[in-house]
């Protein structure tokens, strides 16, 4: 109880006290960073996390996998955008115990536990289809994963790569995003976001990517 008072007495927690159980707070008492505690309280309430789910997120170092900008916004209680809460790296469970050597195999692992994958991206994501077929000119192309986020009201194109990020991946996903905007997006929806999930990021390439709707995130097999 002394520890609880020491950690939580400096903030106004009265509006939160009825939303989380004592077991939730017991999990949070092991954390010595108030910003990190704030984050886990926020997502526990928003996502209605059980104690077990909260414990798993803490163990997976979810807060530490947010970028510095997102952490600063959480500390200052600024509004966060879709891109802020996408983790890096994105954790993907390997249920088949094989080396990931192809995009198809990586996609298979994601589809086996799509709810966990969507949670890695943030709250409010929904799955539309994998291998989403589009026709560009006389040829067909396939988007690895097509998602939608109801919170930010936009489509999300996800491309999977098992290599380091390459500049041609930027052009590829940009074409797919523009296709979705032209053929699926309604006037009331925001422009499509593109996420390239790759084995290794290349910050030099992203530095010269002019389209800020395109994100590159590494994956980590666990």
* Tens-place pLDDT, residues 43-54: 998 888 999 999
| Domain architecture of the chain: domains with CATH | 2-76 (no CATH), 82-221 (3.40.1350.10)
Indicate the DSSP class of residue 208. T
- H helix intervals, the chain: 2-8, 22-28, 34-46, 51-59, 68-76, 103-112, 114-121, 167-183, 203-207
Q: State residue 14's pLDDT score.
A: 45
* Residues near 104 by beta carbon (within 8 Å), at least 6 away in sequence: none
Q: State residue 208's pLDDT score.
A: 84
Q: State residue 25's pLDDT score.
A: 87
Q: State residue 47's pLDDT score.
A: 87
Q: State residue 11's pLDDT score.
A: 56
Q: What is the pTM assigned to this prediction?
A: 0.88
CA distance 198 to 216: 7
Q: State residue 99's pLDDT score.
A: 80
Q: State residue 213's pLDDT score.
A: 93
What would the DSSP string read from start to end of 67-88? -HHHHHHHHHTPPP-GGGG--S
Residue 121 structure tokens: 């991206």
CA distance 100 to 16: 42
Positions in the chain short of pLDDT 50: 12, 14
Q: State residue 162's pLDDT score.
A: 96
State the helix-helix crossing angle for 51-59 and 34-46, rounded to 10 degrees.
Answer: 140
In a 13 Å sphere around the CA of 138, the CA atoms on its Cβ side amount to 0
């Amino acid at each position: 109880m002394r520890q609880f008072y020491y950690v939580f007495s400096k903030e106004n927690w009265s509006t939160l006290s009825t939303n989380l159980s004592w077991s939730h707070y017991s999990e949070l008492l092991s954390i010595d960073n108030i910003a990190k505690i704030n984050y886990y309280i926020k997502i526990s309430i928003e996502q209605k996390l059980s104690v077990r789910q909260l414990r798993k997120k803490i163990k997976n170092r979810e807060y530490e996998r947010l970028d510095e900008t997102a952490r600063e916004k959480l500390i200052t209680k600024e509004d966060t955008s879709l891109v802020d809460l996408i983790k890096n790296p994105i954790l993907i469970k390997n249920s088949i115990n094989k080396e990931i050597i192809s995009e198809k195999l990586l996609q298979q692992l994601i589809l086996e536990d799509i709810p966990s994958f969507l949670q890695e991206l943030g709250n409010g994501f929904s799955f539309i289809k994998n291998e989403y077929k589009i026709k560009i000119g006389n040829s067909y192309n396939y988007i690895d994963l097509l998602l939608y986020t109801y919170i930010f009201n936009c489509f999300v194109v996800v491309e999977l790569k098992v290599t380091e990020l390459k500049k041609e991946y930027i052009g590829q996903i940009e074409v797919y995003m523009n296709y979705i905007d032209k053929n699926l997006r309604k006037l009331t929806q925001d422009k499509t976001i593109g996420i390239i999930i790759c084995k290794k990021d290349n910050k030099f390439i992203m530095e010269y990517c002019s389209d800020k709707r395109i994100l590159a995130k590494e994956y980590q097999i666990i």
